[in-house]
Structure 1
Amino acid sequence: MRTRVARWGHSLAVRIPKPLAEATGLRPGEEVILEVGGEGLVLRPLRLDDLLEAITEANRHEEVDWGPATGREA
């Protein structure tokens, strides 16, 4: 399937045809990852693994003590 690159403000944009969006499960507003691949750009949905990889000691918060268990949650 072919499409064209268009200008969008100071950036470039590519319109994803409906059959490709449906085949990949992409929806409007969904966050995606863009990467440079072997021969060009790779676009893929943002996954939980991507978010977990971003956790570091610098951005990880300390455990919070909410007090003793009061129900059956523990």
Structure 2
Amino acid sequence: MSETTMIQKWGNSLALRISKTLAAEARLVEGEQVELCCNSDGILLKPRHRKRYRLRELVAGIRDTNRHSEVSFGP
């Protein structure tokens, strides 16, 4: 999918709007970080999706050297 949009001034910077449809197709949400790359073809915008961790992988990384001490939450 492609669309045409207008570059506009936003404070001292330039900004462009991404339609709801295009954002949904690219799985972008408000506040998400993206990476902008400039190359000979133009500007490429890539989402920086957060890595999803699996509990199994996290638990496998627990060692005696990186465990926290016991915390008291009261009687």
Report which structure shows greater RCO (CA 8 Å, sep ≥6): 2
Q: TM-score, normalised by structure 2?
A: 0.60
Following TM superposition, where does structure 1 have runs of at least 4 consecutive aligned residues deviating by more than 6 angstroms? none
Give percent identity, aligned residues only. 37
1:9-68 superposed Cα distances (whole Å, 9 cap, x missing partner): 11000100111000010000000000013321100111568xxxxxxxxxxxxxxx457x
Instruction: Return the alpha-carbon distance in structure 1 between the equivalents of residues 29 and 39 of structure 2.
Output: 23
Match runs of 1:6-25 below 5 Å: 6-25=8-27
SS at match of 2:23: helix
Tell me what 2:48 maps to: 46
Instruction: Return the alpha-carbon distance in structure 2 between the equivalents of residues 66 and 2 of structure 1.
Output: 51
| Structure 1 unaligned regions, length at least 5 | 50-64, 68-74
How many equivalent pairs are there?
Answer: 53
SS at match of 1:20: helix
